[in-house]
């Protein structure tokens, strides 16, 4: 696949993201407009829960999914608060819920609690709403723990496993991606993968797609099975499509 084919594919797999603390209605309107590119729409936009309804208004009829985050970014331990966030986001029109697992509890050997949160949030979702579980792999660090968290999330019903919030010092890495995609392959379940945080260039995107192809086959990565979580990479991808040289994108 040449660079333009790769860029077009990456655009179609992108969850275009604004999770800035100072995000505004105007920024969401701009994000939703940007998600509709001359080279195809992004797969989704990912926004704070308070902007889900607004994003739905801007994206009506486009086919672009609306993703939002719960228990984000701390991965706290309030199950009821997380469920409340989830139910409200669904009522506001969210198509996808990106749940930060309580990773500190997981690290503290309270893995049953982490599993319970995934199970309860999954149970709160209509069949049409997807659950992406954010493992925060840069904080889990140990490969065996990343694998255990991946297995837990898959077993508990996650539709995607996602590396990171983009809010810690180490976010998506190829090493974590290898572990997580291998867990998906070994499970035999129809679970997707989402690297998030630090995907800023066509080369970055190509690295993660190559890992997916190695473990899952050349035709596996589609919007149903693979997403990039990023804010800054879209400009770089569009520059490739237009035959320009771009600086690596900034942001999440």
Give domain status of residue 171, yes or no: yes
pLDDT given for residue 136 in this prediction: 98
Other CB atoms within a 10 A radius of the CB of residue 191 amount to: 22
In-domain check, residue 175? yes
- Is 15 annotated in the active site? no
Q: Report the pLDDT value the prediction gives residue 249, as an integer from 0 to 100.
A: 53
Question: DSSP letters along 150-182, please?
Answer: HHHHHHTT-SEEE---S-SSS---HHHHHHHHH
Q: How many domains does the chain have?
A: 1
Set 98, 122, 159, 204: catalytic member:
98
Q: Which pLDDT score, from 0 to 100, does residue 252 have?
A: 63
Is 202 part of any domain?
A: yes
Give the pLDDT confidence score for residue 251 in this predicted structure: 56
Supply the range of the domain harboring residue 50: 3-241
**Residue 194 bears catalytic tag:** yes
246 in a domain, yes or no?
A: no
> Is residue 162 annotated as a catalytic residue, yes or no?
yes
Residue 248 in domain = no
Which residues of the chain carry a pLDDT beneath 70? 245-252
How high does pLDDT run on average in the chain? 96
> Which residues, 6 or more positions from 122, have their beta carbon under 8 angstroms from its beta carbon?
131, 156, 157, 158
d(CA 141, CA 145): 7
Catalytic residue among 95, 122, 194, 204: 194
Residue 155: predicted pLDDT: 98
Q: The whole model's pTM is what?
A: 0.96
pLDDT given at position 244:
76
Strands laid side by side in the 44-47 sheet: 192-194, 160-162, 130-134, 96-100, 65-70, 44-47, 14-18, 228-230
Question: Is residue 250, in this structure, part of any structural domain at all?
Answer: no
What is the structure's pLDDT at 1? 86
Q: Which of 212, 210, 223, 219 is nearest to 182 (CA)?
A: 212
Helix segments in the chain, DSSP class H: 3-12, 25-34, 52-59, 79-92, 103-107, 111-124, 137-140, 143-155, 174-187, 202-216, 233-241
Among candidate residues 95, 162, 167, 204, the one labeled active-site is 162
CATH code, 35: 3.20.20.70
Q: CA-to-CA distance for 156 and 154, rounded, in angstroms?
A: 5
Beta carbons of 132 and 99 less than 8 angstroms apart = yes
């Amino acid at each position: 696949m040449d660079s333009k084919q790769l860029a077009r594919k990456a655009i179609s797999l992108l969850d275009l993201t604004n999770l800035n603390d100072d995000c505004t209605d105007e920024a969401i309107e701009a994000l939703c407009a940007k998600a509709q590119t001359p080279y195809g729409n992004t797969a989704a936009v990912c926004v704070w829960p308070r902007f889900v309804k607004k994003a739905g208004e801007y994206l009506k009829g486009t086919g672009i999914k609306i993703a939002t985050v719960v228990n984000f970014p701390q991965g706290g331990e309030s199950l009821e608060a997380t469920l409340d966030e989830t139910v409200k986001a669904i009522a506001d029109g969210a198509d996808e819920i990106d749940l930060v697992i309580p990773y500190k509890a997981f690290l503290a050997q309270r893995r049953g609690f982490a599993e319970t949160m995934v199970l309860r949030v999954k149970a709160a979702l209509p069949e049409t709403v997807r659950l992406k579980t954010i493992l925060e792999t840069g904080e889990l660090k140990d490969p065996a723990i990343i694998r255990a968290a991946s297995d837990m999330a898959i077993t508990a019903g996650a539709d995607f496993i996602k590396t990171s919030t983009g809010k810690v010092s180490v976010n998506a890495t190829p090493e974590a991606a290898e572990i997580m995609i291998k867990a998906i392959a070994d499970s035999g379940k129809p679970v997707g993968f989402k690297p998030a945080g630090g995907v800023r260039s066509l080369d970055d995107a190509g690295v993660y797609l190559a890992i997916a192809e190695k473990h899952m086959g050349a035709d596996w990565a589609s919007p149903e099975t693979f997403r990039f979580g990023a804010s800054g990479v879209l400009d770089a991808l569009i520059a490739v499509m237009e035959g320009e040289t771009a600086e690596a994108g900034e942001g999440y």
